A = this chain, B = another copy of it.
């Protein structure tokens, strides 16, 4: 077997690839056209109405350029409303539209189910351990 298959960096990429693939397949099977990141954005905007893109990009851990692209696509699909912020004309406030809210509500139960499927090769106990380890690993070193 190739050496790289033992590298954490490689394994992380592989699992991410698997995770994205399962997400895309399952949501499409359920009749939705939504990526993982688009879901994350809808979810965070729902929790934080009138959030601006800079704060959003921090909450979803994504750079502002990528967020701009994603939001732009969601705006085109009329899932998000983007308005110039009155108190700071550089910023744009984001809010879900009615159909954005409806889509989020409908897709949420599927996404939750998908989370278990992503770790389906692990036992419940292993899943718990894995999530707690990866949560710690994601924290910037102190």
What is the interface of chain A, defined by CB distance below 8 A to chain B?
Answer: 2-4, 6-20, 23, 36-37, 39-40, 43-44, 47, 59-61, 111, 114-115, 118-122, 126-127, 129-131, 133-142
Q: Are B115 and A136 in contact (CB under 8 A)?
A: no
Q: Which of B59, B111, B141 makes the CB contact (< 8 A) with A120? A: B141
Contact of A118 among B12, B37, B118, B135 (CB under 8 A): B12
In the complex, the chain B residue whose C-beta lies closest to that of A22 is B9
Are B44 and A11 in contact (CB-based, < 8 A)?
A: no
Bound CA span A129–B134, Å: 11
A126, B136: Cβ atoms closer than 8 Å: yes
Q: How far is the CA of A127 from the CA of B133 in the complex (A)?
A: 9
Per a CB cutoff under 8 Å, which of B14, B20, B36 touches A61? B14
Smallest CB gap from A11: residue in B: B134
A118 to B137, CA, bound (A): 8
A43 / chain B contacts, CB cutoff of 8 Å: 2-4
Most buried by B among A7, A23, A142: A7
Q: Which residues of B contact A121 (CB under 8 A)?
A: 136-142
Contact present for B136 and A122 (CB under 8 Å): yes
Task: Report the separation of the CA atoms of residues A135 and B130 in the bound assembly, to the nearest whole angstrom.
Answer: 11
Are A138 and B7 within 8 A (Cβ)? no
